[in-house]
Each structure stands twice: as structure tokens, then as C-alpha cells.
């Protein structure tokens, strides 16, 4: 059964139409001791079909990575727990957007995930020009961890 | 912000799923943002104020 109402599906389909770049979602999972991995898979499975014409593969693709079996890959993206998502530009370099989600993207986190996908997919950012300039001047690693709860 | 600069990484953490992280960073309310394991930003701030605080590590120690 689909997790999204048909009205929500239609809204997403409309939003994903504006994507100018394909996006790959790396989904880090593990078989044991991951209560929300199955739920995360279900949520992610909704996206590809809504990001292209019916029946075709869309602009969003999901790639599952086993955290235990593929430790090199997990290390490459700095992921050490599951479920975790890393958003990549789906080009030949698979460039990392450095946007991550830890935990199932349900509730409001789903909205955040969609916004992040749209941003990586080519939508213009909501940053003001002065914010953009300040951020452009950052010359060393900054990691932001934003804690939320499901709502 | 991660989108604006390759030095910046943004991680959204579902606090109830990872109580060890919530404990480590003393998350008692959300949203709470932790910058480079040291700076804490509580609540949702206007964009300029948020960036001001998030870039404290850069401002404090200019190259």
C-alpha cells in the first residue's frame, strides 16, 4: 500500500517535475538491530516513481548500501549507523552533496528530505545573497548536526 | 548551507532513534543544532542569525 495519499503524490510529482538534475539517494542499512530500516526503505521507494513519467524510472534513484558489508563506502561518507541517507548528484562523479539524514525520514523529516532532494536536483536555494557570500568564505570543515523529533 | 560551500556538511538527526547521540549532545529540546561538536544553537533562528552562530568557529579564529 502506498504511504502517501494520492493528493500528496500529485503534489510531489508536480514538485519533482522542476528537477533539472538527477539525484541519487544512498541508503545505508543493516539487517539486524535496525528498527526503522524497513520503514525507511518503504518511504524511499515512493520517490523514484513520482520523479518521472508513469512507468519510467525517474530523476531520483535509490541505492542501498549495507553498512556492515560495505564498510569502505560507509566510511567514505562518514556514516556509522543506520538508517542513514546521503544525497549525491547522480552524475558520472556521483559528487557528494554532503547532506545527510540519520533515522527514518518520516513525518516532518520527509518534508526536509524532499526539500533537500529538490535543492540537489537543481532548485535555487533559499539563502539570501549576503548569506551566500558569508558561506562562500568558509575555509575549513564545518559540520552541522540538526536534531529533530518526529512530529 | 552544505549546498553553498564544499567545506560544510549538514546532518539531520532523528533524536529519538539515536538516544546515544541525543545524550552525548544533551538534546533536551528540538530543533537543536550542534556545530563541530562544540557550538550549540537552540531553536529555529532567522537565517542571518543562524549563519552568524554556525560560523562562530571561523569567526573566532580567522586565518
- H or E segment to which residue A62 belongs: strand A60-66
Task: Give CA torsion, residues A62, A63, A66, A69, to 10 deg.
Answer: 180
Closest residue in B to A89 (Cα) is B3
- For A127, the closest of B4, B12, B54 (CB atoms) is B4
**Residues in a beta bridge with A86:** A26, A100
Span A80-89, mean pLDDT? 97
Residues B19-51 pLDDT 10s: 999 999 999 999 999 999 999 999 999 999 999
CATH number at residue B12: 3.40.30.10
Q: Which domain covers residue B10, as residue numbers?
A: 1-63
Mean pLDDT of chain A: 94
Sorted by where each starts, the structural domains of chain A and their CATH numbers stand as 12-136 (3.40.30.10)
Q: Are strands A84-89 and A60-66 parallel, antiparallel or unpaired?
A: unpaired
The C-alpha atoms of residue A78 and residue A61 are separated, in whole angstroms, by: 21
Q: How many domains does chain B have?
A: 1
Between chains, do B9 and A100 touch, taking CB under 8 Å as contact? yes
Quick one: pLDDT at residue B60?
87
> Maximum Cα–Cα distance for chain A, whole Å?
47
Between chains, do B13 and A36 touch, taking CB under 8 Å as contact? no
Q: Where are the alpha helices (DSSP H) in chain A?
A: 6-16, 37-50, 71-76, 108-120, 129-136
Quick one: pLDDT at residue B29?
92
Residues A43-75 pLDDT 10s: 999 999 999 887 777 899 999 999 999 999 999
Task: Kindly state whether B8 is in contact with chain A, defined as any CB-CB distance less than 8 angstroms.
Answer: yes
Full-model pTM: 0.95
Amino acid at each position: 500500500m502506498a504511504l502517501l495519499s494520492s493528493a500528496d503524490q500529485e503534489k510531489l510529482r508536480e514538485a519533482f517535475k522542476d528537477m533539472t538534475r538527477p539525484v541519487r539517494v544512498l541508503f545505508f542499512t543493516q539487517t539486524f538491530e535496525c528498527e526503522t530500516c524497513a520503514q525507511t526503505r518503504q518511504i524511499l521507494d515512493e520517490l523514484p516513481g513520482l520523479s518521472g513519467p508513469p512507468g519510467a524510472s525517474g530523476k531520483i534513484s535509490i541505492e542501498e548500501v549495507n553498512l556492515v558489508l560495505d564498510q569502505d563506502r560507509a566510511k567514505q561518507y562518514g556514516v556509522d549507523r543506520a538508517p542513514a541517507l546521503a544525497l549525491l548528484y547522480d552524475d558520472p562523479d556521483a559528487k557528494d552533496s554532503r547532506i545527510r539524514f540519520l533515522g527514518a525520514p518520516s513525518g516532518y523529516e520527509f518534508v526536509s528530505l524532499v526539500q533537500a532532494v529538490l535543492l540537489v536536483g537543481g532548485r535555487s536555494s533559499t539563502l539570501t545573497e549576503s548569506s551566500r557570500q558569508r558561506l562562500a568564505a568558509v575555509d575549513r570543515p564545518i559540520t552541522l548536526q540538526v536534531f529533530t523529533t518526529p512530529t | 548551507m552544505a549546498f553553498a560551500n564544499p567545506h560544510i556538511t549538514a546532518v539531520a538527526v532523528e533524536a529519538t532513534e539515536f538516544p546515544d547521540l541525543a545524550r552525548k549532545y544533551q538534546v533536551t529540546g528540538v530543533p537543536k543544532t550542534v556545530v563541530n561538536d562544540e557550538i550549540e544553537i537552540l531553536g529555529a533562528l532567522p537565517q542571518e542569525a543562524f549563519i552568524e552562530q554556525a560560523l562562530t568557529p571561523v569567526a573566532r579564529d580567522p586565518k
